[in-house]
Amino acid sequence: MKIKFYAHASFRLEGDGLAIVTDPFNCEKSHFDPINEPADIVLMSSDTDDFHSDPSHVTGSPEVVNTLAIPTGGRVVKGIEVTSYPATESLTFDYQTEYGRDPDANALYHFSLGGLRFLHMGDIGTAVPEGHLQALKGKVDVLLALTGDHATIPLPDLDEAIRVIGPRAVIPMHYYSPKGVLKIEPVESFLARVPAESITRVGGSEMELTPDMLPASGAPRVFVFEQSR
């Protein structure tokens, strides 16, 4: 299957004759360029976050799914079973707290495509709840991981989630970009916490990934993409 990193928490995943776009950003608010590519499905961790839920620049009339609204037990979308794990964001920035608002709900979401099981971490701002960890243990091949620390899951809690869930690959996302507006940690802060020999720098924004490219055991392979938007 083919994986392309747009920016922030947004990827294009293509396999089994389908294209899925995850968590598309609002271009004006994020300062990232429009996606302007087609998809069959858009999966969003909520429908209330400007940095995770603007499908307006995804072309091709995709089916748009707010995964937070998926009921317990999951939902089948164009033949893809999607399971949702509710979470809350972190209120870190002044613009979020100045009006005393509560943290917004969002979701981690799990699905399979191209022979690989994916977990997108949404916009979780806390440690992953123990019940979620146990439900996902051994059921994730590729973790699309929040690695910016500030405003999302703290890196020590991410380490624990990776340890318990046991993905075969980790793809960092949601880290500092000089093009963006959020003051979060660069990807190097996460990479410093993993074995150097497990890191593969893709050297671009997309790659082909197959199950036989991933380790059967031990530390997960970490694939670092360059942003394309």
Average pLDDT of the chain? 94
What's phi and psi for 227, nearest 5 deg? -75, 145
Residue 221 is classified by DSSP as E
Domain assignment present for residue 186? The answer is yes
**Structural domains in the chain (count):** 1
Q: Report the alpha-carbon distance of residue 184 to residue 221 in Å, rounded.
A: 23
Portion of the chain with pLDDT greater than 70, in percent: 94
Domain assignment present for residue 198? The answer is yes
Portion of the chain with pLDDT greater than 90, in percent: 90
List all residues 6 or more positions away from 54 whose beta carbon is below 8 Å from its beta carbon. Answer: 24, 25, 26, 27
Domain assignment present for residue 159? The answer is yes
Q: What is the mean pLDDT of residues 54-79?
A: 97
Q: Across the chain, where does the E strand assignment appear?
A: 2-7, 10-15, 18-22, 41-44, 63-66, 75-77, 80-88, 105-113, 116-120, 142-146, 169-173, 199-201, 206-208, 221-224
Domain assignment present for residue 199? The answer is yes
pLDDT band at 91 (very low <50, low <70, confident <90, very high): low
CATH of residue 73: 3.60.15.10
Domain assignment present for residue 183? The answer is yes
Domain assignment present for residue 107? The answer is yes
Angle formed at CA 204 by CA 203 and CA 205, multiple of 5 degrees: 145
Using the predicted structure, report yes or no on whether residue 101 has a pLDDT greater than 70: no
- Which residue range is the domain that position 216 belongs to? 2-224
pLDDT tens figures, 212-227: 999 999 999 999 999 9
3-state secondary structure of 147: coil
Residue type, 221: R
Token pair for 86: 């509710």
Q: Report the alpha-carbon distance of residue 178 to residue 172 in Å, rounded.
A: 16
Domain assignment present for residue 229? The answer is no
List all residues 6 or more positions away from 196 whose beta carbon is below 8 Å from its beta carbon. Answer: none
> Is 1:208 a contact under the CB 8 Å cutoff?
yes
